Structure 1
Amino acid sequence: MTRHEVPTDPFATIAARAGAADRAERDLSDDIRLLFDCGVMQRLCDCATGPSVARGVDLLCRLGAANLSVGRLAEGHVNALRLIRLYGAAEQIARAEHAAAQAQLFGVWGADGPRPVRIDRTADGQAVLAGAKRFCSGLGLVRHAVVTARSARGVQLVLIRADDERRHDTAQWRTAGMRATLSGGHDMEGLRGEALGQADDYMREPYFEGGIWRYAALHAGALEALADALGRHIRDPSPMQAARLVEMIRLTRGARLWVEHAANAVENSPAPDITASLLAREAVEEACLRGIALCERAFGTAAFMDGNPVERIRRDLAFFLRQANLDGKTQLAARLILDGRATQ
């Protein structure tokens, strides 16, 4: 697709193709290319921080409503470039920006397999890795990945080329939801990459847990898609259906407000508040789980039928909500709240 062929509503185009991608009748390459061609990917990166972050929230919500799998890959691209801009050397940043301008997709892969990734040695100024990653989103689509690797000094970020299909293991990805992300394992044995920043930069706040608002925005967008589907389904509402619709709209409005608040508190504040992001994740998860239950009750068995967009959206959303370390995030939020009270 050329820039002259970009549709007027890229989100509608992505949504229309989501079912086929979920059924593995096509991959997400056209959708990712569309995001680059129409400028959405660049705007997502530009609006990830600062006074324009409200625009970033809206774009992520719209992308989550269109297709959560595409949104997951786009958010990974934003996260990767953010890490490179934060911790990379000037030359690394320049090369990454150039690659992104050429529509090359970036990702962040942090989940280790049974053999955790580590820096085995250095050679010619590069880190030589050992081990394997799992849950690597976008295998075959992601060209460059920022990965975590254990080292003697702590967890080191390493920038690698990720497009060697001989290292990919998509057979690992047998899930009920988010199938179209083409995730799986990646063998890092002997792979060379560039160290990015210093050890343990990856966990530095407000950029680690503070960034949760971005995928919470995707979740909120999927909830809005369910609300739209419910509104189309209810033609002459009974009292019960009317009550479900009203509650659903209230949930969507509340979820978006939580995400907008968190994004501003983290990205557009002189004193970034990661607690806001953690609490937004909790609130959005609760709203989404309730929204899924309302749709299942309102649609009945139709909500579980192949080919019904509601079936795919609820399945993708339920799966995405379970990533990652949810109890740890709740405990961290509680500790931050209590620590804040203790210092007041």
Structure 2
Amino acid sequence: MTLHKVTRADAPSEDEALSSIAALAVPADQDRRSLAGDMYRLSQCGLLGALSRAGDPVQQATILRRIGRASLSVGRLAEGHMNAMKLILLYGTQAQVYRYSLEARQGMVFGVWGADDDPPVTVAADTGERLRLSGGKRFASGLGTVSRAVVTAGQAEGVRLAVADVTDAGRADAAAWDTSGMRATRSGRYDFDGITADALGAPGDYLREPHFQGGVWRYAAVQTGGLEALAEEVRQAVRAGGDPGEARLHRLARIVSLAHRARLLVEDAARQAEAPGAGAMAVALSLAAREEVETACLEGIALADRALGTRSFARGHRAEMIRRDLGFFLRQADLDGKLRMVGDTLCKADVPVGEIWSGR
């Protein structure tokens, strides 16, 4: 399904770009190539541009899901790019929106780096339009691929946002990223000591809802794509194995159903969280959708392990990479706190269950 036309004759189609990304995902996981070429393909075919500007949230969820299906690591960078551009559109000045949107159209990759290292990133000096930073970030996804990072910085008045040039390889420490999953994202450390960056918005803007917690539907969409990719590995294995037997058919039916349920939840969360005037209930739906996607993915991984057997654990097999990346990607900060927020919000509802998220 093509969502956006490409005007450049030499640009790949969406399907060509995604097929190439999927084919090169294992080499990227094995650190034999970076994700820069994949992000360039997404830019050239128009998918990254569609995530960079305001648009139909269900359509954007579909794009994130399709990218995640090709590669969860590329999906992580695409979601970060989308998040960064959304923050710039929300809180940037007219000049900033023009400048950074132009850079994005030219193929520059943006990201959001929020996890602090020790010492954390803080504002050392504030001139109004520019911030001088100190400290460092960890889990800085896309080292060597991301050129502009929207970073959080501590300040007495509240958390600040800044847009920083992060192309200095001497400040990056990719070796700090030593994980079993999502290895291709190169989410290491970056040193911000002495860097001067553009101030973005006002203190506290980053935590404003429904754009903060309400935006978790984006990475849930990427994760749903990973579940779909794992389900497709199971489907192909069942089809190729002669008489599949009742148990394998049951597992296939179950994992595909889980993926479909996850997709519907994410699409509804995207629609409600991005609607004008979205409030606490929409944020709660986005968080609840994330929880349900995690549950579906964990059950899907278990089903795939039973259906695929040792192939799920053979290095270099696409299914092994997907299950490893997906299992790691599901680990997000403060998951119990997110679920508590959902419960607290639901307790305050003045309508019964069945009407709360009906969209009426």
TM-score by length of 2: 0.91
Equivalent pairs: percent with the same residue?
A: 46
**Of residues 143, 159, 163 in structure 2, which corresponds to 1:159?**
163
1:260 aligns with 2:229: no
| Partner-residue secondary structure (3-state), 1:135 | strand
| Partner-residue secondary structure (3-state), 1:116 | coil
Q: Which AA in structure 1 matches 2:323? A: R
Runs of 5+ unmatched residues, structure 2: 1-7
Q: Which AA in structure 2 matches 1:209? A: Q
Residue matched to 1:340: 349
**Of residues 322, 325, 335 in structure 2, which corresponds to 1:316?**
325
**CA apart distance, 1:144:** 0.6
Q: Which AA in structure 1 matches 2:261? A: G
8 A Cα contact 2:123 2:153, kept in partner: yes
8 A Cα contact 1:155 1:199, kept in partner: yes
Residue matched to 1:200: 204
Distance 2:26 2:267 in 1: 29
RMSD value, Cα:
1.7
1:63 aligns with 2:72: no
Q: Which AA in structure 2 matches 1:106? A: F
Residue matched to 2:151: 147
Residue matched to 1:298: 307
**CA apart distance, 1:211:** 0.6
Distance 2:269 2:173 in 1: 36
**CA apart distance, 1:226:** 0.8
1:85 aligns with 2:89: yes
Runs of 5+ unmatched residues, structure 1: none
Q: Which AA in structure 1 matches 2:10? A: H
| Partner-residue secondary structure (3-state), 1:193 | strand
Residue matched to 1:188: 192
| Partner-residue secondary structure (3-state), 1:194 | strand
8 A Cα contact 2:26 2:316, kept in partner: yes
Q: Which AA in structure 2 matches 1:34? A: R
Residue matched to 2:180: 176
Residue matched to 1:224: 228
Residue matched to 1:289: 298
8 A Cα contact 1:29 1:141, kept in partner: yes
Residue matched to 1:37: 44
1:96 aligns with 2:100: yes
8 A Cα contact 2:11 2:45, kept in partner: no
**Deviation sequence 1:144-186 (CA, Å, 0-9, x none):** 1110000010100011111111110111100000000111000
Residue matched to 2:3: none
**Deviation sequence 1:196-249 (CA, Å, 0-9, x none):** 111010010000011100110001111011111101111322111111111111
**Of residues 117, 123, 133 in structure 1, which corresponds to 2:121?**
117
Distance 1:23 1:257 in 2: 33
**CA apart distance, 1:125:** 4.7
**Deviation sequence 1:71-99 (CA, Å, 0-9, x none):** 11011111001001101111111111111
**CA apart distance, 1:286:** 0.2
8 A Cα contact 2:128 2:199, kept in partner: no
Distance 1:318 1:333 in 2: 23
**CA apart distance, 1:19:** 0.6
Distance verdict in 2 for CA 1:106–1:83, change over 3 Å: same
8 A Cα contact 2:172 2:189, kept in partner: yes
Residue matched to 2:285: 276
1:4 aligns with 2:10: yes
**CA apart distance, 1:122:** 2.9
TM-score by length of 1: 0.95
8 A Cα contact 1:278 1:329, kept in partner: yes
**Deviation sequence 1:121-151 (CA, Å, 0-9, x none):** 1358521111110000001111111100000
**CA apart distance, 1:45:** 2.5
Distance 1:76 1:143 in 2: 12
Q: Which AA in structure 1 matches 2:336? A: D
Residue matched to 1:134: 138
**CA apart distance, 1:269:** 4.9
| Partner-residue secondary structure (3-state), 1:234 | helix
Distance verdict in 2 for CA 1:3–1:202, change over 3 Å: farther
8 A Cα contact 1:259 1:277, kept in partner: yes
1:20 aligns with 2:35: no
**CA apart distance, 1:336:** 1.2
**CA apart distance, 1:268:** 2.8
8 A Cα contact 1:3 1:37, kept in partner: no
Q: Which AA in structure 2 matches 1:244? A: R
Residue matched to 2:80: 76
Distance 1:64 1:338 in 2: 34
Distance 1:199 1:222 in 2: 35
